[in-house]
Amino acid sequence: MAAAPAAETSCRLEFSVEMTCEGCAEAVRAALQGMAGVRLLDVRPETQTVLVEASVAAERVRERLEAAGRRAVLRGMGGPGAGEGTAAATGTAAAVAALRGPGAVRGLVRFLQVSPERCLVEGAVDGLRPGPHGLHVHEFGDLSDDCHSCGDHFNPDGERHGGPQDEHRHVGDLGNIWADATGRAAFRLEDSRLKVWDIVGRSVVVDAGEDDLGRGSHPLSGLTGNSGPRLACGVVARAAGLFENPKRLCTCDGLTLWDERDRERLPPPAPHL
């Protein structure tokens, strides 16, 4: 079974949303009004900024904004209360991993340390076979041999493999994510062992099959959860917190924020793997 979502834990999300006037701002307010688990905090059309507090995945908020005809990009994340007073005093840390593989699987996984005891893990992965897929943090951020060079699960305590709710488990054991009929797995979970500052520079891997959480009879059950080949992986990099990402133009290729957003959108689901 996958880890239960931490619906009670909220965080603050900063979006850049395409707006040019107060009418655009009203359309954003209308789009988010009544959305369960989302509280709109601020809309500033002059800076194309929207700030919300949410207990749902950032991807769900972005989808709602884009369904209203507004291109949106997540710019930063912070813990509850972030942005009140000095942003640097929030004590939170954020990281992100862009997942790719030799096949069609693509995704993005975000990590937010909302307290020393709580790390939110959320994201979306496309191109999967419908059903459960193991998700793990691995020890190395080495993608030189596709995902085979990422090493084993991150396991600094020398434990056996288990599920995210188990007392004895690898720190990197995040259980399963579930892909729907379109091949998309959108998820949001909370973990008490993972620390963002410990995993920056390591990697995240999504597997072809279901993680048995160390409860199976296969010889690999206590090592990997017997979740099959590695489909896609990405290095964990530090991500911007609230108000820490002022970029409007990419200096390396001259793309605007919106050009880059269109280029980096996850492709439609391809043949399932």
The answer for residues whose C-beta is within 8 angstroms of residue 67's C-beta and 6 or more apart is 31
Residue 86: the pLDDT is 39
123 inside domain? yes
- The pLDDT of residue 80 is 76
Flag the least confident range among 7-21, 86-100, 183-197, 243-257: 243-257
- pTM here is 0.79
Burial class (CB in 10 A: 0-12, 13-18, 19+), 254: exposed
For residue 177, give every residue at least 6 positions away whose Cβ sits within 8 Å of its Cβ, in sequence order, or none: 2, 125, 132, 133, 135, 185, 187, 206
**Do 224 and 104 sit in the same domain of this protein?**
yes
Of 71-85, 168-182, 201-215, the least confident: 71-85
Which residues are within 8 A (CB) of 96 and not within 5 positions of it... i.e. 6 or more apart?
108, 109, 110, 111, 236, 237, 239
What was the pLDDT predicted at 68? 87
Q: Does some domain include residue 5?
A: no
If phi > 0 it is left, if psi is from -120 to 50 it is alpha, else beta; for residue 177 that is beta
Domain containing 117 — which CATH number? 2.60.40.200
Q: Residue 249 pLDDT > 60, yes or no?
A: no
Q: 257 vs 23, which has greater pLDDT?
A: 23
Specify the number of domains making up the chain. Answer: 2
Q: In the predicted model, is pLDDT for residue 193 greater than 80?
A: yes
**233 close to 99: Cβ distance less than 8 angstroms:** yes
* Domain residue limits at 198: 93-238
Specify if 4 maps to a domain.
no
Does 271 reside within a domain? no
Give pLDDT tens digits for 27-49. 999 999 989 999 999 999 999 99
**pLDDT of 254:** 46
- Same-domain status, 252 and 231: no
Higher pLDDT, 248 or 187: 187
pLDDT of 17 above 50: yes
Model pLDDT, residue 134: 98
pLDDT at 37: 93
Same domain, 109 and 70: no
pLDDT of residue 117: 87
84 compared with 130, residue with greater pLDDT: 130
Side-chain-facing half-sphere of 18: CA atoms under 13 Å: 14
Shared domain for 169 and 48, answered yes or no, is no
Neighbours of 139 (CB within 10 A): 18
pLDDT at 178 exceeding the cut of 60? yes
Residue 203, token pair as written in the block: 């990697």
Least confident of 18-32, 91-105, 154-168: 91-105
- Same domain? 219 vs 145: yes
Same domain, 16 and 47: yes
Do residues 227 and 144 both lie within one domain? Answer: yes
Q: Say whether both 153 and 25 belong to one domain.
A: no
- What pLDDT score does 97 carry? 95
Same domain, 113 and 144: yes
Rounded distance, CA 133 to CA 108, Å? 15
Residue 94 buriedness (CB in 10 A; 0-12 / 13-18 / 19+): buried
Strand partners, 153: 138
